[in-house]
Amino acid sequence: MRDRNLDGRGIMGEAMEIEVRLFATLRDYLPPGSSQFSCKLQVKSNDTVGDILKKLNLPDEMPKIILVNGVHSTLERVLKRGDVLSVFPPVAGG
């Protein structure tokens, strides 16, 4: 995993590091140079899950299952230093 700054510029305000894990078809939205399914990102201290997904260009209309530190989460959750944000596409099957 490599550290990434999503906007390619300096981050305004207090910065912190989180880990983002995208699974299955969502892996295509990881920043260039990321590992197979995850990366560490430098983000602002008041960023929400929704902010990060927008910065990664995940379409709003795309269904997704969101976990923060292994617990179901909402787009409005404010992330904390060291959080692990995991995003999965919905699972279908029978």
Structural domains for the chain? 3-88 (3.10.20.30)
- What share of the chain in percent tops pLDDT 90? 67
Query: Can you tell me the distance from the alpha carbon of 72 to that of 39, in angstroms, rounded to the nearest whole number?
Result: 20
pLDDT score recorded for residue 10? 47
Question: What mean pLDDT is predicted for residues 47-55?
Answer: 96
pLDDT score recorded for residue 9? 46
Contact between residue 41 and residue 50 where contact means Cβ atoms under 8 Å apart: no
Tokens for 10, please give them: 């300096």
Question: What mean pLDDT is predicted for residues 26-41?
Answer: 92
pLDDT score recorded for residue 1? 43
